[in-house]
Amino acid sequence: MRNAIGTKRAVGLLLALAMLALLLPAAGAEETAVATEHKWWQDTIVYQVYPQSYQDTDGNGYGDLKGLNEHLDYLASLGVGAIWLTPVMVSPMVDNGYDVADYTDIDPRYGTMEDMEQLIADAADRDIRIVMDLVLNHTSDQHAWFLESASGRDNDKSDWYIWRDPKPDGSAPNNWRAIFGGSAWVWCEARGQYYLHTFAPQQPDLNWENPEVRQAVYDVANFWLDKGAGGFRIDAITYIKKPADFSDGEPDGADGMVGIHAMTANTEGILDFLREFKENTVAGRDVFTVGEANGVQASELPDWVGENGVFDMLFEFSHVDIGNGTAHTWSDPAPWTLTDLKAAFAASQQATKDNGWYPVFLENHDQPRSINHFLPDAEDPVMAAKLLGTLLITMRGTPFIFEGQELGYTNVAWDDISLYNDLNTYAQYLFAMEEGFTEEEAMEGVHRFSRDNARTPMQWDDGENASFTDGTPWLPVNDNYTEVNVATEAADPDSVLSWYRTLSGLRASSQVLLYGDYTELFPESEEIFAYRRQTEDGEMVILLNFTNGAVSYDAAAVEGLEPLLSNYGDAEAGALRPLEAVIWH
Ligand code: NOJ
């Protein structure tokens, strides 16, 4: 399909570029005082790198910091002003770096502290800042803090983690189930107590009630700020405050347990901790923070990111969770419609309208690829990728591109569970089997939601292993790499990559896209996602056809406007072709 309509698309792109050329001088001339009120991180695009999968330079099959450094010009060409680097600190890699054993050193898998300093400096030369991923809810069970805490009840760190006595019968203190499956408690012989882990057993939760723990995590943040980090993405932050009540919850599964998320996420008092974090670390520095906040509702955003909020931006999950419903297993997804997706975006846009700022994202290292997630029936993945890219880059907020998204990556579907790497994929598979789903249903869930969908190596060209590594890649490269790769797409003006570059240039030079208000159009439509972006001086209307068929809309929505950019190259008022994405101005 890609080749069949490639020529038409190339012509279309010429038209689009011509339209863009018309716009750019006008937009550039629009420089107003508004721009100066904005922070650098509101005007830029953030790109998330999963370093393990980006570029290997030493042939061990794992990406490294030197490899990422080699591609800074590529990222600059996408208009990226900040790279969110998932954790590269010393780690046993049970959860690929989200189990930190030393916060102030680089894991040898990724290189050295010199490589990190070089990366920060070389990125700065290109006006790109490196944003570190801080994992502060838990450490690795190999961290020196935990080893000391677990050595007995009488040591300096004895109260640094969440320790509880067993129930009278010796069993775990309560029936909470960890996010990665099984009881959230692990028995420690040396203390005669259990410790709590929200995620894997090797990820014990820190005790934020202890002021020494809080000071220690502030020291970690300040260490990286002093190294020149441009800010932080802060992991799993909604779990740091535990409730006073540790009693059993109502079971939600055949195992008699209740998911810990329901018991501990976003507990009252959490914002006090986070205010203190802000005051002791980022306050007064020209950096940004984005919290990962599963469990915070869009309506609560103003408390978190408003003028007096604790972060600059917050990832809340209502739009990516739409397929999950209330189900506790990947094998029982909830049906959803386009209006559900639009309502999720509308709520977060509304909540950050006058106060705070929104990080727009459709993918990250924990999510399926967005084409499979949001357009699972799309007949043309290239058009689908362009449509979703348009949504990502034209919505109000700072766009976060996840590596490969700019190339139109899609999910993988390996036959056998043993081919997967991600621990949560195994946990979900086992849980589905325990809940009585068949092997086939369990694997369907894995194919749909496995985090490995996002983690396959970067596809740089059509050479062996997509030139990600000279060795054996830690996770197989997606079979589509001969077509979907940077070199091929960079040479094709009609590729997904070229589309992203065009959109990125458009956003950077458009006051309307950077600062304009957001108003949803046709909110009831199950076919079209549409919105208006508007400043006092200008207006754009973005129309996205989420179906494989032709659809129509009330042309009054674009009256007086001209088509600016379309993934078909031209546009007709009132009509949209399959998976058409069009911007009117
Ligand atoms: C969220 C991270 O994005 C995910 O990859 C990780 O497994 C958990 N937090 C635990 O740190």
pLDDT value at 1 more than 70: no
Structure tokens at 190: 């040396």
Residue in the block written with tokens 């999963």: 50
Query: Is 321 an active-site residue?
Result: no
Contact between residue 137 and residue 294 where contact means Cβ atoms under 8 Å apart: no
The number of C-alpha atoms within 13 Å of 382 and in the hemisphere containing its C-beta is 22
Strand partners, 361: 400
Q: Give the confidence band of 5 by pLDDT, cuts at 50, 70, 90.
A: very low
- For 391-415, b/e burial (b = at least 16 CB within 10 A) is bbbbbbbbbbbbbbbbbbbbbbeee
Q: Which helix (H) or strand (E) holds 36?
A: helix 33-37
| Phi (first) and psi of residue 164, to 5 degrees | -145, 150
pLDDT at 16 exceeding the cut of 60: no
Ligand 1 centroid from CA 491, angstroms:
36
Residue with tokens 């830029």: 44
Q: What is the mean pLDDT of residues 259-266?
A: 96
pLDDT at position 24 over 90 = no
Q: How far apart are CA 580 and CA 413, in angstroms?
A: 27
Quote the ligand 1 centre to 236 CA distance (angstroms).
Answer: 7
**Which residue of the set 235, 366, 539, 580 is catalytic?**
235
What is the model's pLDDT at position 34?
46
Q: Chain centroid to CA 300: how far?
A: 20
- pLDDT band for 466, please (50, 70, 90 cuts): very high
pLDDT of 327 reads 60
Which residue's entry shows tokens 């589905």?
A: 432
User: Active-site residue 527, yes or no?
Assistant: no
Q: How far apart are CA 544 and CA 370, in angstroms?
A: 15
Integer Cα distance of 474 and 373 in angstroms:
24
Ligand 1 pocket test: pick from 98, 141, 261 the residue with the most ligand atoms within 8 Å of its Cβ.
98
Predicted pLDDT at 528: 98
Mean local confidence (pLDDT), 206-214: 98
**pLDDT(19) > 70:** no
Listed residue (204, 211, 198, 229) closest to 104, CA to CA: 229
Percent of the chain clearing pLDDT 90 (strictly above): 88
Are 564 and 20 contacting, i.e. CB atoms less than 8 angstroms apart? yes
What is the largest distance, in Å, between two alpha-carbon atoms of the chain? 76
98-120 residue pLDDT tens:
999 999 999 999 999 999 999 99
Cα–Cα distance for residue pair 391/581, rounded to 1 Å: 9
Residue 114: Cβ within 10 Å count: 10
Sequence-distant (6+) residues with CB within 8 A of 573 are 555, 558, 559
Helical packing angle, 270-280 and 211-227, nearest 10°: 40
How far is residue 422's CA from residue 461's CA, in Å, rounded to a whole number? 25
Whose CA is closest to 231, among 290, 303, 305? 290
Distance (angstroms) between ligand 1 centre and the Cα of 299 equals 24
Q: Is the pLDDT of residue 518 over 50?
A: yes
Q: What is the mean pLDDT of residues 529-535?
A: 98
CA dihedral over 158, 164, 166, 168, signed as positive or negative:
positive
* In the predicted structure, residue 299 carries a pLDDT above the cut 80: yes
- For a ligand 1 pocket test, name from 89, 135, 451 the mutation site with the most ligand atoms within 8 angstroms of its C-beta: 135
Each residue's pLDDT tens digit, 348-364: 999 999 989 999 999 99
550 CA to middle of ligand 1, Å?
40
Pocket lining for ligand 1, CB < 6 angstroms = 95, 98, 135, 199, 235-236, 292, 365-366
Torsion angle defined by CA atoms of residues 458, 462, 466 and 472, in that order, rounded to the nearest 10 degrees: 160
Averaged over 14-26, what is the pLDDT?
Answer: 47
pTM above 0.85, yes or no: yes
Enclosing H/E stretch for 581: strand 581-584
Out of 95, 133, 141, 292, the active site residue is 292
CA distances from 424 to 242, 261, 330, 366, 443 (A): 23, 15, 11, 10, 13
Q: Which two tokens stand for residue 162?
A: 């969440």
Joined tokens for residue 119 = 């990366």
Strands laid side by side in the 185-188 sheet: 163-164, 193-196, 185-188
Residues 6+ apart with CB under 8 A from 475: 53, 421, 452, 455, 456, 457
Arithmetic mean of pLDDT, 271-292: 97
| Most confident among 1-15, 46-60, 295-309 (mean pLDDT) | 46-60
Q: What confidence category does residue 25 fall into, taking pLDDT thresholds of 50, 70 and 90?
A: very low
Instruction: Summarize the confidence of residues 230-234 as an average pLDDT.
Output: 98
* Average of per-residue pLDDT values in the chain: 93
The yes-or-no verdict on residue 15 having pLDDT over 50 is: no
What pLDDT score does 253 carry?
A: 86
Q: List, as one string, the DSSP characters of 363-414.
A: --TTS--HHHHH-TT-S-HHHHHHHHHHHHHHSSSEEEEETTGGGT------
Query: pLDDT of 372-405, one tens digit each?
Result: 999 999 999 999 999 999 999 999 999 999 999 9
Res. 527 pLDDT band, cuts 50 70 90? very high
Residue nearest ligand 1's atom 10 by CA: 98
Mean pLDDT, to the nearest integer, of 504-526? Answer: 97
How much is the pLDDT for 323? Answer: 80
Identify any residues that bridge with 259 across adjacent strands, giving them in sequence order: 177
Burial class (CB in 10 A: 0-12, 13-18, 19+), 492: middle
> Residue 239 Cα, ligand 1 centroid: separation in angstroms?
12
**Cβ contact 97:46 at 8 Å:** no
Nearest by Cα to 478 from 544, 560, 381: 381
Q: Indicate whether 204 pLDDT > 50.
A: yes
Other C-beta atoms within 10 Å of 65: how many? 28
Tell me the pLDDT band of 254, cut-offs 50, 70 and 90. confident
Q: Average pLDDT of 404-432?
A: 96
